[in-house]
Amino acid sequence: MNRTDTTAACPCGRLDARRKPQTYERCCGRYIDHWEAQPAPDAEALMRSRYTAFTRENAAYLLATWHGSQRPQTPDFEPATKWLGLEVRAFQPAGEDTATVEFVARYRLAGRAVRLHERSRFVRENGRWYYVDGEQF
Ligand SMILES: [Zn+2]
């Protein structure tokens, strides 16, 4: 997708109530482009928006939503990655301020298909959700 086209289908693949793809601006773009005013309301929305930020190589958003205890200096973008899609398998709130999201992300790297299956941990601090770390399968 064109990086500036906010009316195209959101890379995270979320569907609206009528099973139509949500546009970027109505889906992850609401959080990615307005992080200060409108943080992702739950761990699944944050996870989806971080996937979308990866596809758009938005380092600022990824770092802003990475918990300080685990945050790298810079996110790792493989230059030739072609993101193919995201499937959220499970979203499990665990109390008020912690949650896990299990997902499969697919991409192509140098012609090779890669499947990333991870259960990510999230925490909420001062009303904002953060990605902590993940366990890969
Ligand atoms: Zn989205």
pLDDT in tens, 48-71: 999 999 999 999 999 999 999 999
CA 70 to ligand 1 centroid distance, Å: 24
41 Cα: distance to centroid of ligand 1 (angstroms): 13
Tell me the CA–centroid distance for residue 23 and ligand 1, in Å. Answer: 8
What is the side-by-side strand order in the sheet with 112-125? 81-93, 98-109, 112-125, 128-136
- Tell the CATH topology of 29-136: Nuclear Transport Factor 2; Chain: A, (3.10.450)
Write the burial class of residue 128 (CB in 10 Å: 0-12 exposed, 13-18 middle, 19+ buried): middle
pLDDT at 36: 92
User: What is the per-residue pLDDT for 5?
Assistant: 78
Whole-number Å distance, alpha carbon 20 to ligand 1 midpoint, is 12
Is the entire prediction scored with pTM above 0.85? yes
Distance 6 CA to ligand 1 centre (A): 11
Predicted pLDDT of residue 46: 98
- pLDDT, one tens digit per residue, over 3-20 is 567 889 999 999 999 999
